[in-house]
Amino acid sequence: MMDPKSELDKAVNAFMTYEDYLDSMLTKDDLMFLEDKEMCRDLLVLGYHSNKRIIPKEAFDQRKAQKAAQTEEQNVKDIRICGSELQTSCNLMQALAKREEDNLTGCLATIIFIRDINEKGEEVSAYIDYRHRLRTEDWIPYFRGEKKIVPSEKDLSFYNWVKGTSYHTSSANFEVVPDTDTLKLIFICTTDRYVIDVNPKTQTTEKVFRLDLADTNYEQAAIFDHVVDSPIP
């Protein structure tokens, strides 16, 4: 016979919810005769409808939470922090190095604004999803000063000031909402649905901070930090 701890771990690993666990104990006959799944579950919990030992809901939920916490802790440990390689005096890169871990762990959602001259001599600008770039690029060359952040048409918002072309692309972290009537651009954090207004005239709030940076390797650079709330269920 399996010991209670092993039985609990097996159930927690096999089923997403306690209800799924209970449902696995039910038979077609149970559902046919009782015709009420909730009643079947209640009878199982009370021990009236099965000769098997039923794991209490409190024990299942507690172990599930412990497993989730362990997984999150391991994910944080596995995150590669590149900011420790910082070797540049560029204020933008110094600011981003400080924000790297918080963005990777989801505590902070940072949008980078850059206006610069590209390799063709054209003035371009972009609002950049920092977390997305961190997860899709090697940032050691940036933090060492060997490479510059280049605005891309795949960023949240991109504008070529010479050609007059613009692109808007939502990411896993931000939904882009352009208003063609007011020429206003806002971003919605997909985690907590908080609206981030990047208009320079908009006052910062306790949830969004704007930092304009001088002495960078770019024509213009700014950072918008959003302190992320718990996800909306």
Q: Which tens digit of pLDDT belongs to each residue from 130-148?
A: 999 998 899 999 999 999 9
65: pLDDT confidence band, cut at 50, 70 and 90? confident
The arithmetic mean of pLDDT across residues 12-16, rounded, is 88
Q: What is the rounded average pLDDT for all residues in the chain?
A: 86
The arithmetic mean of pLDDT across residues 76-88, rounded, is 74
233: pLDDT confidence band, cut at 50, 70 and 90? very low
The Cα 188–Cα 170 span in angstroms is 9
Token pair listed for 189: 């954090």
79: pLDDT confidence band, cut at 50, 70 and 90? low
Q: 51 pLDDT exceeds 90?
A: no
The Cα 217–Cα 114 span in angstroms is 10
Q: 102 pLDDT exceeds 50?
A: yes
The arithmetic mean of pLDDT across residues 69-88, rounded, is 71
231: pLDDT confidence band, cut at 50, 70 and 90? low
Residues with Cβ within 8 Å of residue 228, at least 6 apart in sequence: 106, 107, 108, 109, 189, 191, 192, 194
- How high is the pLDDT of residue 46? 79
At 191, give phi and psi (nearest 5°): -75, -50
The Cα 147–Cα 96 span in angstroms is 14
Q: What is the DSSP string of 30-45?
A: HHHHH--HHHHHHHHH
| Full-model pTM | 0.66
What is the total residue count of the chain?
233
State pLDDT tens for residues 150-209: 999 999 999 999 999 999 999 999 999 987 777 788 999 999 999 998 987 777 777 899
Q: What is the DSSP string of the chain?
A: ---HHHHHHHHHHH-SSHHHHHHTT--HHHHHHH--HHHHHHHHHHTSS-SSPPPPHHHHHHHHHHHHHHHHHHHHHH----GGG-----HHHHHHHHHHHHHHTTSEEEEEEEEEE-TTS-EEEEEEEHHHHHHHS--HHHHTTSS-----TTSSEEEETTTTEEEE---SSEEEEEETTTTEEEEEETTT--EEE--TTSPP-SSEEEEEE-SSSSSEEEEEEEE--PPP-
Q: 75 pLDDT exceeds 70?
A: no
Q: 212 pLDDT exceeds 90?
A: yes
Q: 103 pLDDT exceeds 90?
A: yes
The arithmetic mean of pLDDT across residues 88-97, rounded, is 95
How many angstroms separate the Cα of 55 from the Cα of each of 5, 15, 101, 137? 10, 13, 38, 45
31: pLDDT confidence band, cut at 50, 70 and 90? low
Token pair listed for 4: 């209670």
* First vs last C-alpha separation in the chain: 39
- How high is the pLDDT of residue 24? 83
